[in-house]
Amino acid sequence: MNAPSPNLLGSLLESAVSTHSSLLGRAVHALILRTHDTPLSSFLCNHLVNMYSKLDRLNSAELLLSLTNPRTVVTWTSLISGCVHNRRFTSAFLHFSNMRRESVLPNDFTFPCVFKASGSLHMPFTGKQLHALALKGGNILDVFVGCSAFDMYSKTGLRVEARNMFEEMPHRNLATWNAYISNAVQDGRCLDAVAAFKKFLCEGGEPNAITFCVFLNACADMVSLELGIQVHGFIVRSRYREDVSVSNGLIDFYGKCGDIVSSEMVFSTIGGGRRNVVSWCSMLAALVQNHEEERACTVFLKARKEVEPTDFMISSVLSACAELGGLELGRSVHALAVKACVEENIYVGSALVDLYGKCGSIEKAEQVFREMPEKNLVTWNAMIGGYAHLGDVDMALSLFEEMTLSSFGITPNYVTLVSVLSACSRAGAVERGLHIFESMRGRYGIEPGAEHYACIVDLLGRSGLVDRAYEFIKRMPILPTISVWGALLGSCKMHGKTKLGKIAAEKLFQLDPDDSGNHVVFSNMLASAGRWEEATIVRKEMRDVGIKKNVGYSWVAVKNRVHVFQAKDSSHENNSEIQAMLAKLRGEMKKAGYVPDTNLSLFDLEEEEKASEVWYHSEKIALAFGLIALPHGVPIRITKNLRICADCHSAIKFISKIVGREIIVRDNNRFHHFKNGWCSCKDYW
């Protein structure tokens, strides 16, 4: 049998690399040993070193290198390139140093590898040494060497050196321009990226898919919809209008700019089986970012028929489930994550903690949190936020201290402090909340923002210190926002401070005149104080200017179906059973001492009519259905789009004791966990 030619064997080894087949590579190596005498030629040794190093079998590659004689720059570069390819940057530098000790000069292929290693390890001093070596040998004039040196300076934060390198390059190819634009975007210099793109076009450059995707990222970061639309028009006229990666970039761009219709339009044009997993992930993320959680879940179910779920896809749909309060669907996605072996991924784990925390299943959130092998700041924030939603200030502060003081040593951020202060507010922990707020600058280096100030106003107001809350607002170094005045208005309603409430309401009407919620709260506050004529005037003003009160809905999920109810709803298929359950509960509650809170009912109704009015609120109807449809022992989880009213809150406390059921209500402000006649909010709601 004739020995296969070195060229054929080299091609087979390259095929092993391209197919990531270690088995094929070793088989070819065995064939070489059988058919060729040792020592092997430099040509075959170089191919073998390249194959083993690229397939991350460095021990085999290093052994072959030691048996190769002479070791040329190609041999060394093959090994160094493989190390960099597999992100073994320290090993790449070690072999580069050994190469230099043997007086082998690096070539135009060696320098890009070690420049990349230097940038990835964030070693600017080493990068400068390499630059000097490339300059001394004349290699820096090569366009690829110059581009890699520029990229190294950009990634190590040396902007001046990066710009000088770019300006001094005698030739710039497409990769150089892409590197410049990409690094400008990553560095937050989007206007610089736009200017570079325009200059590139003026010099006659033809952008490729990478150029378009990077530039769309710049448009998205600037939220510049108009500029992105112009680029889209350019793409349509170019040969990249059918490119999937460019289409994916457009979906992402439109999603981040809030134009979900255009995102869906681009997504729909990717047909003929060309959609990949990135297409689905981009569409899913765009929907979640634009608060289209229901449609995001629908897209996820469609994606399951075409692609295997990824960690990004699963974390995105878990975020959608968390916002919807969709615990059952979230559990199904959790099972899918376990099946796909991504449940230990830090992003999936953080999304799971967030899901269970926002759905009131705090024990499950704790379990996922404790079992995660790795946690980042987002994970800690999600868990602290879960405790904050329940108003469990002790657990929130305990976890906060564990995060900052233990071996984890994680520095809190803006969001962390919002969650902690929110927990203090919901639990009425005034002194602890004020202490944390006052230590934000000195201890954590975080400048308080509008959300932090709103938490303090809410904290003081809930605790009955409404006048102190108003004084706090007047001393704020920033202009009070809607959330700040909204917190004060809510506190005034809670404690009957109509004079201050009117001041807060007037400020809110100026800042957000179209929000019906502020008008309703102000009107209800006046009604509670018996000032019915003024309350009626507020309602009339709403109608005159065309402001409609948001309709209240409550819903409960049973057997993968969501049942939605409005006040006085009689349209449900089980209406007769629901009405019977309500009548039964009403009788038992009356015996237990329940008295309806009719302060907010229409003033021209008789007392009996007022009691009937509040009895048919949507959350009570949803609860009655839950008692019928869900077996005993299963918690009843109700979600409401508005804040739960005082009467429903009181009624559900009575019902939880009478029926012996755990009832969890999630309104637009927080969770209420009812059990044995008590609520987790301790009436700080």
Would you say residue 685 has pLDDT above 70? no
Q: How far apart are CA 51 and CA 42, in angstroms?
A: 14
pLDDT digits (tens, 9 = 90+) for 473-502: 999 999 999 999 999 988 888 888 888 988
Q: What is residue 404's predicted lDDT score, i.e. its pLDDT? A: 82
Q: What is residue 605's predicted lDDT score, i.e. its pLDDT? A: 38
Handedness of CA 579, 582, 587, 588 (dihedral sign): positive
**Mind spelling out the 3-state secondary structure of 22-44?**
HHHHHHHHHHHHHHCCCCCCHHH
DSSP state of 70: S
pLDDT digits (tens, 9 = 90+) for 257-285: 999 999 999 999 987 678 899 999 999 99
Contacts of 537 (CB under 8 A, 6+ apart): none
The domain 449-550 is placed in CATH, from the list 1.25.40.10, 1.10.600.10, 3.40.50.300, 3.40.50.1000, at 1.25.40.10
Would you say residue 360 has pLDDT above 50? yes
Q: What is residue 606's predicted lDDT score, i.e. its pLDDT? A: 41
pLDDT digits (tens, 9 = 90+) for 187-207: 888 999 999 999 999 988 899
Contacts of 66 (CB under 8 A, 6+ apart): none
One-letter amino acid of 624: A
Q: How far apart are CA 73 and CA 106, in angstroms?
A: 6
Q: Torsions phi, psi of 678, nearest 5?
A: -120, 155
pLDDT digits (tens, 9 = 90+) for 581-637: 999 998 898 888 888 776 655 444 344 444 556 788 899 999 999 999 999 888 898
* Residue 636 parent element (H or E): strand 636-640
Would you say residue 559 has pLDDT above 70? yes
CA distances from 354 to 315, 316, 318, 319, 360 (A): 10, 12, 8, 8, 10
Which percentage of the chain shows pLDDT scores above 90?
51
Q: What is residue 643's predicted lDDT score, i.e. its pLDDT? A: 83
One-letter amino acid of 646: A
Q: What is residue 612's predicted lDDT score, i.e. its pLDDT? A: 58
Q: Average pLDDT for residues 12-30, to the nearest whole number?
A: 91
Residues of the chain with CATH 1.25.40.10: 449-550
Q: How far apart are CA 406 and CA 383, in angstroms?
A: 16
Q: Which residue shows structure tokens 């959790």?
A: 334
Would you say residue 118 has pLDDT above 90? yes
pLDDT digits (tens, 9 = 90+) for 139-162: 999 999 999 999 999 889 898 898
Would you say residue 390 has pLDDT above 50? yes
* Residue 554 parent element (H or E): strand 554-558
Q: What is residue 378's predicted lDDT score, i.e. its pLDDT? A: 93
Confirm if 190 and 222 have CB atoms less than 8 A apart. Answer: yes
Q: How far apart are CA 248 and CA 233, in angstroms?
A: 15
Would you say residue 111 has pLDDT above 90? yes
Facing residues of 555 across strands? 564, 639
Residue 70, preceding bond cis, omega within 30 degrees? yes
Contacts of 164 (CB under 8 A, 6+ apart): none
Confirm if 480 and 473 have CB atoms less than 8 A apart. Answer: yes
Q: How far apart are CA 604 and CA 658, in angstroms?
A: 33
Q: How far apart are CA 565 and CA 554, in angstroms?
A: 5
Q: DSSP letter string over 427-457?
A: HT-HHHHHHHHHTHHHHH-----HHHHHHHH
What is the maximum alpha-carbon separation in the chain?
Answer: 108
Q: What is residue 603's predicted lDDT score, i.e. its pLDDT? A: 42
Place 459 in a pLDDT band, splitting at 50, 70 and 90.
very high
Q: How far apart are CA 373 and CA 56, in angstroms?
A: 25
Facing residues of 672 across strands? 665
